[in-house]
Chains A and B, each alone.
Chain A
Amino acid sequence: MIEAQVEGDRRAAIGQTVIDAAIHNEVPSTRALYPFLPDFWIEHVEQTLFKGPTDSYYPTNSPIAARPNSRPSPEEVPEPLTGRSRVAAAAGPPPASAVGVVQREVLVDGVEAGVLCSPYPIDSIHNPDAAVAFASAVNDWQIREWLDKEPRLKASIVVPIQVPDLAIREIERVASHPGFVQVALPIRTAHPLGSRIYHNLWETIARNNLVAGLQFGGVPGVPPTPTGWPSYFVEEYVDMAGVFATQVTSIVCEGVFDRSPSLKVALIEAGFTWLAPHMWRFDKEWKNLRRLVPWVRRAPSEYIREHVRLTVQPLDAPDDPKHLLQVIDQLGSDEMLMYASHFPRVHAADAEEKLIRHLPEGLARKVRSENARALYGL
């Protein structure tokens, strides 16, 4: 049996409060978006091959995509569309696709709040009109079906990253809703996220006091590694850490944090044991080559410690807890790591068992709740 399932019980036993920094809420069916879609796109979905995006950040039926008990009952969600629907092949409603199942499975055993981070693959829709229409619909659906129904949940604004101007417009449209605390961005993009293409987007995120949540996945159509398309998803899964690393490089090098000093970036489902060696290399190269980026005035690791937060999963952890504590110490900050269930996804290790219980009391409390509380203003 998958060990992650018992996390909640363990926490209850030790009486700790917890904030779940990432819950991946799914849209159950394009039908769920009809109340929020323009007639043009409803007609399109009803009358053509297009049933909404068909790609996904996790392989739909993969053993890591859905924990037991993570699917709502059919009564809780609209009927799926047939045809080229992203979810038509799934065994029942998509996991985490209704607020009830998250209330039952996640918001229990001392979990006082959770941050939704939708993996809706807007970035796969190259038609910009469809992309913004579906992004708006997903955000309005999140307000009505999640935020209005469950005050313990906060949510992430879904945006068409491939058209930054439209992403900015969508953020401005909904940012005043107090339930939105973050903008969800895929870590895989067609251009590095620090690029000037995105500078106004970063400023919009910062100006609205939102966190930029860079999450595992993305379907931009470009290969996920610097040597092309790997054959297996397990490679893409491992290589995602490299994409996170290069996006951090880009965001720091391009001066995003210099332009928006209040900006915070959450790396969601990146793991973290890769980060210290990456900071070493990045600092070293910056010492050599900083004349190329004169606006970067401090060592990159200083920017990273100040502005970047990470959820602890997938826990790329050594067997020896002593080594894991060394890796955490190498980060040089106790404010970076946040517990997240990533419900409904499955991970190899239980974060409480393998990581948090080995931490000194103060740091354990920060990882369980305080770092996320500070980041999201909960």
Chain B
Amino acid sequence: MVQTLARSESRAKTRPALIDGDFHNELNSIKDIYPYLAKKWQTHIETHGVRGPAGGTYPRFMDHREDARPPSGRVSGSEVGWSAKDYLDPYNVAHAMCIPLTPAGRQLNFELDAALASAVNDWQINEWLDPEPRLRASIAVSTENPPAAVAEIERVAHDKRFVQVQFGGRTAEPLGRRKYWPIYEAAAKHGLHIMSHAFGSYGNPITGAGWPSYYLEDHVGPAQSAQANVVSLITEGVFDHFPTLKFVSVENGFGWIPSLMWRMDAAWSLLKSEVPHLKRKPSEYFPDHVYCTTQPVEEPHRPQQFVEMLEHFGPMVNNIVFASDYPHWDSDDPDFALPNILSEEIKAKIHYANGKNLYNL
């Protein structure tokens, strides 16, 4: 009898390598990081729980793909070995950027927040980066408490498997505000990017007009919060002040980038006297400083419009990095995310070369 290769093995042997800008290493429970957390904070969590800015509960059907759940029954994405077997191997993922979505960075109690961030980073080193050499990671920090964030960056930045500093999608203030500059200074010093992942909120609603009613709206909204952050970073002069710093927008889509560049340039041409510190026209900051990952990939009404959109990207086409969002419910399958109409050259850039350049792999 002829033995056929398992589907995953056959795929891995025939496909080009992939770099994934959004791979989630998940906690099965907060207890996963207890080995890295001081006893007093374990007691605090057991007694008082974790507490962030509240508000924003939506009925929704799932967070994680059931088909990615490990045989142990733990949460999908919470076992490095299973994620490797289920995703990294079959798709020939050369490197994936871990983005841990945890309570760290979201606490109102700043001391607890800093302790959680350190615990998450030690957990990443020991349970993800050490066992799996294909992984790189994002440094969890207490974003609303910059002195603690800087200390944490200084503590772990020597480990070059950390490639970026993690922010939620909705910080307490727009990302360009001076409050966050010490974090950018520390990141720039160590050659780390700053990365903002969709959704996480430090109290602000997903719209500039209050809280919407449905999870559907919550899921359309990150494109707007990401734009507000890009506008803020550029307008405040962050990239003039930190000329090597790069901003990576994750899970916010990317179809909005051309229109935003056009709009910023038009507005700046009228109002530049308000922001005389800007050294360049806003759109000129984009190619050097603004990067985006693909998932959820744009789905124009006609495939040709995807090609048009990338034409409108101009040099920004080098700043699009593939992302799967594995193992979340809306993750993109690398085989189907990009439309067939794209040239192999463009696909290769997005699937591999752009990520290799961005993360210095």
Contact = CB atoms under 8 A, between A and B. Distances in A.
Interface stretch (B80-88, B156-164, B262-270): B262-270
B273 A63 contact: yes
Contacts of A326: 305, 308, 311-312
A211 B305 CA distance: 31
Interface string A234-248: 110111011101110
Interface stretch (A45-53, A77-85, A288-296, A365-373): A288-296
Given A222-B210, A239-B208, A234 B312 contact: no
Interface of A: 62-64, 187-196, 220, 222-235, 237-239, 241-243, 245-247, 249-250, 253-254, 271, 273-274, 276-286, 288-293, 301, 314-318, 323, 326-327, 330, 332, 346-349
A238 B231 contact: yes
A293 B216 contact: yes
B267 A348 contact: yes
Contacts of B147: none
Q: 5 closest A-B pairs (Cβ-Cβ)?
A: A277-B255, A242-B224, A225-B228, A226-B225, A246-B207
A225 B225 contact: yes
Contact of A62 (B214, B228, B259, B271): B271
Contact of A64 (B177, B211, B262, B270): B270
B296 A281 contact: yes
Contacts of A250: 207, 209, 212-213, 217
A317 B171 CA distance: 30
A237 B278 CA distance: 17
Contact of B270 (A188, A288, A348): A348
B220 A249 contact: yes
Contact of B205 (A226, A231, A249): A226
A226 B177 CA distance: 14
Interface string B38-56: 0000000000000000000
B224 A246 contact: yes
A23 B264 CA distance: 24
Given A63-B273, A232-B271, 20 more contacts: A192-B207, A192-B213, A222-B208, A222-B210, A226-B169, A228-B174, A229-B174, A230-B176, A234-B272, A235-B232, A237-B267, A253-B212, A253-B213, A254-B214, A274-B259, A276-B300, A280-B298, A292-B215, A330-B300, A349-B266
A190 B209 contact: yes
B172 interface: yes
A226 B173 contact: no
Contact of B264 (A196, A238, A254, A315): A238
B312 A318 contact: yes
Contacts of A194: 212-213
B223 A253 contact: no
A192 B231 CA distance: 22
A207 to B, nearest CB: 23
B275 interface: yes
Contact of B231 (A64, A187, A239, A315): A239
Contacts of A223: 204, 208
Contacts of A301: 301
B145 interface: no
Contacts of B209: 187-193, 220, 222, 243, 246-247, 250
B271 A233 contact: yes
A63 to B, nearest CB: 7
B260 to A, nearest CB: 7
Interface in B227-259: 227-229, 231-232, 235-236, 253, 255-256, 258-259
A226 to B, nearest CB: 4
Contact of A273 (B227, B262, B270, B300): B262
A346 B171 CA distance: 33
B217 A224 contact: no
A211 B66 CA distance: 46
A242 B298 CA distance: 17
Contacts of A347: 266, 270
A1 B63 CA distance: 55
A332 B273 CA distance: 37
B217 A249 contact: yes
A288 B299 CA distance: 13
Contacts of B204: 223, 225-228
B207 A239 contact: no
Contacts of B220: 246, 249, 278, 281-282, 285
29 contacts: A62-B271, A63-B271, A64-B270, A189-B209, A192-B207, A225-B208, A226-B205, A226-B228, A227-B232, A228-B172, A231-B235, A233-B274, A234-B272, A237-B267, A238-B263, A238-B267, A243-B224, A246-B208, A246-B221, A253-B212, A288-B219, A301-B301, A314-B267, A316-B262, A318-B262, A323-B312, A326-B311, A332-B301, A348-B267
